[in-house]
C-alpha cells in the first residue's frame, strides 16, 4: 500500500515542488526529528496554499535541492545554508524575536 500510494502521489508532489520553486514568496524552515531513533531533518517549503515536506538525513545545503532553481524572495531564519541561494532573502519576525530574546 505504501509503494502504491507513493507512486500515485509522485505527480502531485512534483507539481507542488514545481509551483513552490516558481512562487514569489515562500517560507522555508527545518526541524530535527527522530526516525527509527536516528536524527533526521524535516525540511519545509510553503506558501499560504502549498506545503512541501522532505525528510533528509542531513541538514546542509544539499538537503534543500528544491531551492536551487528558486529566484523569488525566500522567507527564512538566518541559517547560513539558505543564504547561499541566488535569490532575495527576507527574515521571519518570529525568528528575529527569538534571537533578540536569546531563545534557541
Domain ranges of the chain: 2-100
Tell me: the pLDDT tens digits for 2-13?
A: 999 999 999 999
DSSP code per residue over the chain: -HHHHHHHHHHHHHHHHHHHHH-SS-EEEEEEEEETTEEEEEEEEE-SS-EEEEEES--SGGGGGGGGG--SEEEE-S-HHHHTSSSEEEE-HHHHHHHHTT--
Q: What is the pTM of this model?
A: 0.81
Q: Is 59 or 88 the better-scoring residue by pLDDT? A: 88
Amino acid at each position: 500500500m505504501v509503494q502504491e500510494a507513493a507512486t500515485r502521489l509522485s505527480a502531485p508532489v512534483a507539481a507542488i515542488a514545481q509551483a513552490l520553486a516558481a512562487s514569489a514568496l515562500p517560507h522555508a524552515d527545518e526541524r530535527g526529528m527522530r526516525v527509527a531513533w536516528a536524527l533526521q531533518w524535516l525540511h519545509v517549503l510553503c506558501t499560504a496554499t502549498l506545503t512541501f515536506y522532505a525528510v533528509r538525513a542531513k541538514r546542509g545545503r544539499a538537503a534543500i535541492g528544491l531551492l536551487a532553481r528558486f529566484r523569488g524572495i525566500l522567507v527564512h531564519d538566518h541559517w547560513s545554508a539558505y543564504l547561499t541561494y541566488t535569490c532575495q532573502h527576507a527574515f521571519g519576525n518570529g525568528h528575529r524575536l527569538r534571537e533578540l530574546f536569546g531563545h534557541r
